[in-house]
Structure 1
Amino acid sequence: MLVTLIIGCEIAFWVLLGAGLAVRYLLRRPRAGAVVLLCVPLVDVVLLAAAVADLRAGGTAGSRHGLAAAYVGFSVAYGHYLVRWADGHVAHRFAGGPRPPGPPKYGTARAVHEWRMCGRTAVAAVVAAVLLECAVRLVGDADRTEALRQWQLRMAWVTGLNAVVAASYTLWPRREPVTGPRR
């Protein structure tokens, strides 16, 4: 059931985001749209409450709980970024706003962008690890929470992988193609 709720929360995130932006730009009600967008974090609260309720009811902590913690962590770290990204694109498409800039493609600017994304991933991993640790302590039984410890390691691995990607852009930056007259 928890996995179904995680999927439902992901769908609810995008539905609320789309509804908030539609109200803001298509119906031209920016304040009402902002109120709908402020409801997006409630999706995480619902998921967190369901995971805690499942554990308190005596359920063995499993991958579904780890996935729920990871979802909340990534939502906290990347949620505002995604909302701002979508808002910029919808404003451009439907409200005559400027074309939002994409991420830089070359050089130091791209490396900085990748390190910012790595920082977001680190925040997601820390949030998930804290939630997982709280769940371990809530259950209080090492045999029932081994899967949560594994998820803490997975989150550290994902952060490390993201750091390797960011480091590669720092050590081997892509160069902007040289354009000039042909010979």
Structure 2
Amino acid sequence: MVVALIVICEVGFWVLLAAGLATRYLLRMPRTGAALLLCEPLLEVVLLVVTAMDLKNGAEPSWRHGLAALYIGYTVGHGHRTVKWLDGHAAHRLGGGPRPVPPPRYGMPRARYEARLWLGTLLGAAVATGLLWLAILYVGDPGRTGSLESWMHVAWRTAGIHGVVAATYAIWPRRAPAPPPADRTPIRVDRP
């Protein structure tokens, strides 16, 4: 049941996002579109409540509950950035707004951009860990919560790998390509 709800929440996220952006830019109803976009966190609340109820009803803590915690953590860490990115593109394509500024590609600006992404991953791992600890305390039987503890390791391993990748942008910043050489065709001077 929890896995099906995760899929439903993911589909619901994209449906609400599409409905919110379409209402905002195609129907020219910005407040209604914003209200639809603000309903998206309710999906995670529903997932959290159903997962807690599933554990309360005596379900064996398993990978499904850990996956739900990671999904909620990812949404907290990166959901806002995803919505903002898509809103900028929808405003440009559907609302006649300016073209969104792409992320920097080179040097320290790119390293700072990657560091901000990594901070979102850290936030997601922290939220997932907090939810998993609450679930472990809620179950109260250390013998039954091993799978939940293993998901904490998955969250922090993912954050660690992402941190290493982000650090490479600061340690070895990518340089902008050199501008193409100016056309240096020799000027031919005819002598009499």
Q: TM-score, normalized by length of structure 2? A: 0.93
- Give the equivalent residue in structure 1 for 2:189: none
Partner of 1:48: 48
Q: Kindly tell me the number of residue pairs found equivalent between the two proteins.
A: 183
- TM-fit CA distance, 1:101: 1.2
What is the identity, as a one-letter code, of the residue corresponding to 2:93?
Answer: R
Distance 2:103 2:68 in 1: 29
Match of 2:169 in 1: 169
| Structure 2 residue 23 is the aligned partner of structure 1 residue 23 | yes
Partner of 1:72: 72
Report the secondary structure of 1:95's partner residue.
Answer: coil
> What RMSD in Å do the two structures reach over aligned CA positions?
0.9
| CA–CA distance in structure 1, aligned partners of residues 180 and 45 of structure 2 | 55
TM-score by length of 1: 0.98
Spell out, residue by residue over 1:138-174, the C-alpha distance to the aligned partner (whole angstroms, 9 max, x if none): 0001121110100001111011001100111111111
State the SS of the aligned residue for 1:178.
Answer: coil
| Amino acid in structure 2 at the alignment position of 1:57 | N
What is the alpha-carbon distance in structure 1 between the residues aligned to residue 10 and residue 51 of structure 2? 15
Residue number in structure 1 paired with 2:6: 6
What amino acid maps onto 2:61 in structure 1? A
SS of structure 2 residue aligned to 1:71 = helix
Note the C-alpha offset of 1:40: 0.5
Q: Aligned-pair distance for 1:129?
A: 0.1
Which aligned pairs between 1:32-181 and structure 2 lie closer than 5 A?
32-181=32-181
SS in structure 1 of the partner of residue 61 of structure 2: coil
Aligned amino acid, residue 149 of structure 1: E
Larger Rg: 2
Distance 2:96 2:74 in 1: 31
Q: CA deviation at 1:79?
A: 1.1
CA distance in 1, matches of 2:125, 2:90: 30
Q: Secondary structure at the match of 1:175?
A: coil
Comparing both structures, which one devotes a greater share of its residues to helix? 1
Q: Which amino acid aligns with 1:24?
A: R
Query: Which segments of 5 or more consecutive residues in structure 1 lack a partner in the other structure?
Result: none
Q: Determine the C-alpha separation between the residues in 2 that align with 1:180 and 1:52.
A: 60
Distance in 2 (alpha carbons) for counterparts of 1:135 and 1:97: 45
Residue 74 (structure 1) shift: 0.7
User: How far apart, CA to CA, are the structure 2 residues paired with 1:93 and 1:112?
Assistant: 28
Opposite residue 83 of structure 2, the aligned amino acid is V
